[in-house]
Amino acid sequence: MTPQLTDKYMVTIAERLTSAYARIANAANNAKRSSNEITLLAVSKTKPSDDIIAAYEHGQRQFGESYVQEAVDKIAQLHTFSDIIWHFIGPIQSNKSALVAANFDWVQSVDRVKIAKRLNTQRPADKAPLNVLIQVNISAEEAKSGCSIEQIPELAEFIDHSEQLTLRGLMAIPAKSDNPNEQTQSFEQLQTCFDKLKAQYPHIDTLSMGMSNDVEAAINTGSTMVRIGTDIFGTRT
């Protein structure tokens, strides 16, 4: 089933992936952290399965998707690549939660109890619990998704008590900024939330922040997972 890929095509994604790993290693080094602490999530939304295979063949295993139906189709196409770890990172509508619960390993965009409850009920019993990040809206006036900082404790408690969910940490998509100081300010808010949550739930280990535009600021502020799309797969149309 593997489609034929031209060498040129494969080199492109492989080279971009190599650059992304190097960028993470460099940012970790500057922040005096080990790059082993930071996972690269390759965000493949809108990109064809061939692109995912090219990244997979270069060693990438964790992929992020934002649109449920598109993602479910690709996960089915790629089912023989059984060690891919799929992360859902887009907004979750109630009527799509069952597909998310059945097909993904992680969900990074849980922002209300109603959705957490549905995911817990709908997660198939024969699968390991779904790994969950709470999405926090740290620039309230701009973004539409994410819970407020004040809502984190209630949501965390609910997830922690749900048998088919495992609380792993927090995720945020701050308002886009090209100013590193502004980027850092947003990330510091999330880091503070994460530290507080970890004091109560010591097993949590994932602070998902940083995208193509702000990897350095995120890693400098404690990110353990950066989500990179454009820099690996090219611009989206």
Ligand X SMILES: *Cc1c(COP(=O)(O)O)cnc(C)c1O
Contact residues: ligand X, CB under 6 A: 43, 45, 66, 89, 173, 211-213, 227-230
CB of 211 to ligand X, least distance (A): 4
Minimum Å gap between C-beta 199 and ligand X is 26
Angle at 173 between CA 95 and CA 194, to 5 degrees: 100
- Closer by beta carbon to ligand X, 157 or else 182: 182
Which residue's CB atom is positioned nearest to ligand X?
Answer: 229
Please identify, using beta-carbon distances, which residue of 107 and 165 lies nearer to ligand X.
Answer: 107
Which CB atom, from 15 or from 79, has the smaller least distance to ligand X? Answer: 15
- DSSP string of 100-115, one letter each residue: HHHH-SEEEEE-SHHH
CB of 230 to ligand X, least distance (A): 3
**The residue type at 131:** N
Q: Which of residues 161 and 176 has its CB atom nearest to ligand X in the complex?
A: 176
Exposure of 60 by Cβ count < 10 A (0-12 exposed, 13-18 middle, 19+ buried)? Answer: buried
Q: How far apart, in whole angstroms, are the C-alpha atoms of residue 227 and residue 212?
A: 7
Per-residue CA distances from 76 to 73, 79, 104 (Å): 5, 5, 11
For the CB of residue 217, give the shortest distance to ligand X in the complex, in Å. 14
Residue 80 CB, nearest approach to ligand X (Å):
26
**Nearest residue (CB) to ligand X, 69 versus 80:** 69
Instruction: Identify whether the C-beta of residue 146 lies closer than 8 Å to the C-beta of residue 123.
Output: no
Q: To which residue do tokens 């492109």 refer?
A: 12
Structure tokens at 67: 């649109």
176 CB neighbour count, 10 Å cutoff? 13
Smaller CB distance to ligand X: residue 99 or 143?
A: 143
**Minimum separation from the CB atom of position 108 to ligand X (A):** 7
Cβ closer to ligand X: 103 or 109? 109
3-state secondary structure 172-233: CCCCCCCCHHHHHHHHHHHHHHHHHHHHHCCCCCEEECCCCCCHHHHHHCCCCEEEECHHHH
